[in-house]
Amino acid sequence: MKKIKVILIIATLFSSLGCEKILEEHPQSQIVPSFFNSPAGVLGGIAGVYNEIRNQWGTEGFSSEMQAGTDEFIQGASSGGGPIHTFNGLNGTNFGSAWATSFTCINTLNGVLKFGQDISLPEATKKQYLAQAKFLRGFWYFYLVQTWGDVPLNTQFITVPSQSAKRDPASEVYKLIIQDLTEAAASLPDKPTAPFLGKAATKPVAQFFLAKAYLTRGWLTGSQADYAEAAKIASDIIANKATYGLDLWQDFGDAFVPANDYGKETMFVSDHMLDAKFGYYTVGAGASGGAAQNLTPWFTNWNYPNNSGVNSFVNASGVLVNSGTSGMIRDSYYGRPYQRIRPNSVKQTSGEYAGKNYFLDQAFVRRDIDARYANTFYSVYIANTSVTNTPTAANNKRGIGYTTQIGIDTAVWLPDFEVVGAPQFYGNRPFKGIIAPPSLWKADLYPAIKKFMDPSRGSNFNDPSTRPVVITRFAEVYLVGAEAYLQAGDKTKAAELLNVIRQRAAYRKTNTAAQNAAAAEAMLIKPENVTVDFILDERSRELFGEWMRYHDLVRTKTLVKRVKAWNIEAANYVKDFHMLRPIPQSQIDRTVEGPKFPQNPGY
């Protein structure tokens, strides 16, 4: 690194604010070796690294890097275009928001591990501090090696600036990751323990990332031993879920209720705070991007206030044209419109899946019994403003006048099936708002993700969210375990784990017990149904929008195949070399001593 500079956030770590248990942090200056000679310094180093996770997960650039251009997402009307969505022209000048952050964090953790051995603390407390540091170093290196492959492997605390750097083999990086996570899991507590309350790293969290690291390395090397170890660890976590205080909610939707953000299904989060100074924004200023700003609720939001005209109509080209007074105004429930990315609902024009789209015809094809679609996306927008529509208003084809009632009438309905008469009629019946079935979805009108929404914003609903970004849910333990068992040759066990997730997805509070039982039975799959593609589809259903799709496709070596099959924007550009991201040009430019820092092939 050209410069060694770390902005440290010291923690009196977690405190309770209502239902939230989150980092309380205080700005500090740069890290110098002497800083780690005290318990406060060691704790501060760990807290500073937790802060840097918050500076990536949930922010706009990082979220796009982890999701855009995959089978799940295509561009929204305000994507800004660019190579991240299409792979066309992607290079080191337009990618790599977390590269420098990762190495800054790793160096801080190396300092904690070096000096933390000698601080004066009760042995149990010291043990947990060092375990936290090992977990976090493994966490960051796992992100790096999945994204870029061979990366610099640093295990010593760097205090002297250097302009030389080299890349170490991914195999060596994985050795450190597995060692760090194994040692962290052995020393971390089963449940959150002071000062690391909330949902910081615990034993099962370290075990989960260890299982995922073994699984990912297994894909790289074909190691059956790695697959078997990943499967065993995942099964052990599930078997000991009561000890760890973990479990699935009965209803999939309950995993995303704000009151449950720190509940039994949540394993690991990046905290945010009601106190704006720790989230780097000014209350009421409507910050739209930057470090530590959780903008997750709004990335997929279409511009419903500007595109919900009550007299919208379909033109001669079959495109929905906005017309008339808007049936909606911006509010905290439906959120701030961003339109960066949208669910991939565009039908393929050729190939194996011609006439189908990934969103409705593949991932969420069983919407009749699988409740995850309804719990993940908005399909109904209830009027939050009153509109009087006269019979003679331009493009009002209903032949009647009416006034919409706030909180009662539907302003926009996005059914998942075609509706005769849309957008102004349901069959022959006039509809007060507009109906937009799949054939009318476009870059500025589509089902938005609702599971991350933050209605607590109140009157300041344009401000960043203070909900935590949930990085790991207990449900993914089943999915990782299923994938590992499949690769290890045990489809029966893989199906068993997938069926737990699938049967949970069949549950609806509005069903009778008999209906839920029938739905659960219908969701069961057999061992012969389990394939890599099936698991990837299942991951879409369960984890849609949760910051991991690019890594999922890279891990399973399906990126090119699935993007070509489903994403018409990127299909003509995606290549095998896109399985690794481009090294940031800034890193290459700063390496001026010794051998040149190599770029990944193809860029």
Instruction: Say yes or no to pLDDT of 20 above 90.
Output: no
Percentage, residues of the chain above pLDDT 70: 94
Band of pLDDT at residue 31, cut at 50, 70 and 90 = low
Q: Mean per-residue pLDDT for 328-351?
A: 95
Query: CB of 87 within 8 A of CB of 575?
Result: yes
Q: How much is the pLDDT for 135?
A: 98
Domain boundaries, the chain: 1-59+97-188
Q: How far apart are CA 245 and CA 277, in angstroms?
A: 32
Band of pLDDT at residue 575, cut at 50, 70 and 90 = very high
Task: Please tell me what DSSP assigns to residue 38.
Answer: S
Band of pLDDT at residue 32, cut at 50, 70 and 90 = low
**pLDDT (tens digit per residue) in 147-195:** 999 999 999 999 888 899 999 999 999 999 999 999 999 999 999 999 9
55 contact partners, CB below 8 Å, separation of at least 6: 101, 291, 292
Find residue 17's DSSP bridge partners.
20
Band of pLDDT at residue 408, cut at 50, 70 and 90 = very high
pTM metric for this prediction: 0.94
Neighbours of 430 (CB within 10 A): 14
- For residue 325, count CB atoms less than 10 angstroms from its CB and return exposed for 0-12, middle for 13-18, buried for 19 or more: middle
Q: How much is the pLDDT for 30?
A: 56
Query: CB of 425 within 8 A of CB of 401?
Result: no
Q: How much is the pLDDT for 280?
A: 78
Q: Does domain 1-59+97-188 have CATH number 3.90.230.10?
A: no
Angle between helices 203-221 and 123-148 (to 10 degrees): 30
Q: Mean per-residue pLDDT for 380-388?
A: 98
What number of residues does the chain have?
603
Report the first-to-last Cα separation within the chain, whole angstroms: 22
Of residues 234, 210, 43, the one with CA closest to residue 141: 210
Q: Mean per-residue pLDDT for 308-323?
A: 97
Q: How much is the pLDDT for 346?
A: 96
Q: How much is the pLDDT for 21?
A: 46
Q: How far apart are CA 481 and CA 494, in angstroms?
A: 7
* Stronger pLDDT, 251 or 119, i.e. the higher one: 251
Q: Which long-range contacts (CB under 8 A, 24 or more apart) does 382-386 make?
A: 382/407, 382/408, 382/409, 382/410, 382/411, 383/327, 383/328, 383/407, 383/408, 383/409, 383/410, 383/411, 383/433, 384/328, 384/329, 384/331, 384/333, 384/334, 384/411, 385/326, 385/327, 385/328, 385/329
Q: Mean per-residue pLDDT for 368-372?
A: 97
Q: How far apart are CA 213 and CA 219, in angstroms?
A: 10
Quickly list DSSP for 161-222: --S----B-HHHHHHHHHHHHHHHHHHS-SS-BTTB-TT---HHHHHHHHHHHHHHHHHHH-
Where residue 27 falls (left for φ over 0; alpha for ψ -120 to 50; beta otherwise) is beta
- Phi then psi for residue 456, to 5 deg, are -70, -5
Query: CB of 577 within 8 A of CB of 603?
Result: yes
Q: Mean per-residue pLDDT for 126-133?
A: 96
Q: How far apart are CA 40 and CA 49, in angstroms?
A: 14
Q: How much is the pLDDT for 13?
A: 33
Q: Mean per-residue pLDDT for 376-386?
A: 98
SS3 content of the chain, % helix, strand, coil (to 5): 40, 10, 45
Instruction: Say yes or no to pLDDT of 14 above 80.
Output: no
Q: Mean per-residue pLDDT for 443-449?
A: 98
Query: CB of 265 within 8 A of CB of 249?
Result: yes
Q: Mean per-residue pLDDT for 218-233?
A: 98
Query: CB of 541 within 8 A of CB of 366?
Result: no
Query: In the structure encoding, which two tokens stand for residue 454, read together?
Result: 């933050």
Query: In the structure encoding, which two tokens stand for residue 469, read together?
Result: 């970004």
Instruction: Say yes or no to pLDDT of 251 above 70.
Output: yes
Q: What is the mean pLDDT of the chain?
A: 93
Give the CA distances from residue 401 to residues 311, 390, 391, in Å, rounded to whole numbers and listed in that order.
11, 4, 5
Q: How much is the pLDDT for 212?
A: 98
Angle between helices 475-487 and 491-505 (to 10 degrees): 160
**pLDDT (tens digit per residue) in 498-525:** 999 999 999 999 999 999 999 999 999 9
Band of pLDDT at residue 19, cut at 50, 70 and 90 = very low
Helix, strand counts (H, E) of the chain: 18, 15
Instruction: Say yes or no to pLDDT of 1 above 50.
Output: no
Instruction: Say yes or no to pLDDT of 22 above 70.
Output: no
* Stronger pLDDT, 223 or 291, i.e. the higher one: 223
